[in-house]
Amino acid sequence: MGADVDTAVSALLRGELVILPTETVYGLACDAGNPRAVAKVFEAKGRPQFNPLIAHVTGLEGALAIAALSPRAQRLAQAFWPGPLTLVAPIRDSDAVSDLARAGLDTVAVRAPDHPVAQALLTAIARPLAAPSANRSGRPSPTSLADALEETGAFAAAALDGGPCRVGLESTVLGEIEGELVLLRPGAVTRADIERIAGPLAPGLGEGHRSPGRLARHYAPSKPLRLDVLKPSPNAAWIAFGPEPPGRASSLNLSPTGDLAQAAANLFAFLRAADRTEAALIEIAPIPHAGLGEAINDRLQRAAGRVG
Ligand code: TXA
Ligand code: MG
């Protein structure tokens, strides 16, 4: 099912799209400097063109070629790259990341993914790749090649297999707005991780602040989703978290031991699995809010349509 890196490079250089594994979720990648290719990504996802894409690079050097990262942002990149952190900074090279990829903004979001296949592709092509999550707009992100193919495979000229995604939630997105660090999207690099390196974050999420993709209902399964359920209803597909009474364990337990990293890695695949059952709705147990729980609960709130 999976193509090789050389095939993927040729496809990208022809302006075609490639399904790309990362440690967070699968992406639908294109040459960020080719507006026709970028337009195909928006079309494949059914994504509104006001929502900018992340430019993927191998590391800090590649990022500095396209983005004016502040000293503080560079410290964060050094601490967490390659890894699930995206930094928004003023654009430096608008040929390498086209206006369309940036949705016309004078900033660009950059990240260096921590996945050997993504790194191999970025090294081979030696230019930034724009890649949103490979789901259709509004749906849960794909965390396996099969899920990515089901969502946007029809639009991709090649698909690279990287196995199941280790993190399972999209990267943390961080902006610098009027000198303040603002969390635009929580992820596996947590608030505490960031504050340890860069000092205090602005309180809350920077929703209204140039975080264009965060306004709509997002990550949503087709069935209605109820959160923070303690006792599942008989007609619901039940997604549990933590230890369950013996003999009554759910087939979908995000982490029987209550481990948030394991829960994050399972979340989108379990929402898809629950969606495929005959049940009328999906119910999910409460997830603690600390650490990675902030990112998990952020996705759940949006999937349930409670935000935006
Ligand atoms: O983990 C990830 O970040 C995955 C993998 C494939 O790298 N990508 C991903 O991309 O989640 P996407 O397009 O689904 O989400 C990108 C988010 C959106 O919320 C978008 O609005 C925001 O980043 N974003 C992109 N460029 C921005 C910019 N210049 N300013 C503010 N937000 C930006
Ligand atoms: Mg997405």
Does the pLDDT value for residue 209 go beyond 90?
no
Split at pLDDT 50, 70, 90, the class of 17 is very high
Pairwise CA distance, residues 2 & 19, whole Å: 9
Pairwise CA distance, residues 227 & 240, whole Å: 11
Pairwise CA distance, residues 91 & 287, whole Å: 37
Does the pLDDT value for residue 21 go beyond 70?
yes
The whole-number pLDDT of residue 268 equals 97
Query: Is any ligand 1 atom within 6 A of the Cβ of residue 33?
Result: no
Rounded to the nearest angstrom, the distance between the alpha carbon of 45 and the centre of ligand 2 is: 9
Query: Is any ligand 1 atom within 6 A of the Cβ of residue 171?
Result: yes
Pairwise CA distance, residues 278 & 270, whole Å: 14
Nearest atom, ligand 1, residue 131 CA: 6
Look at the alpha carbons of 206, 108, 189, 171 in this order and tell me if their dihedral is positive or negative.
positive
Split at pLDDT 50, 70, 90, the class of 216 is low
Mutate to test the pocket of ligand 1, among 173, 217, 268 (most ligand atoms within 8 A of CB): 173
The whole-number pLDDT of residue 179 equals 87
User: Which has the closest alpha carbon to 40: 123, 118, 130, 119?
Assistant: 130
Where would I find the beta strands (DSSP E) of 32-145?
54-56, 85-90, 107-111, 129-130
Nearest atom, ligand 1, residue 105 CA: 29
Query: Is any ligand 1 atom within 6 A of the Cβ of residue 172?
Result: no
The whole-number pLDDT of residue 207 equals 66
Average pLDDT over residues 38-66: 97
Task: Give per-residue pLDDT as tens, 254-272.
Answer: 999 999 999 999 999 999 9
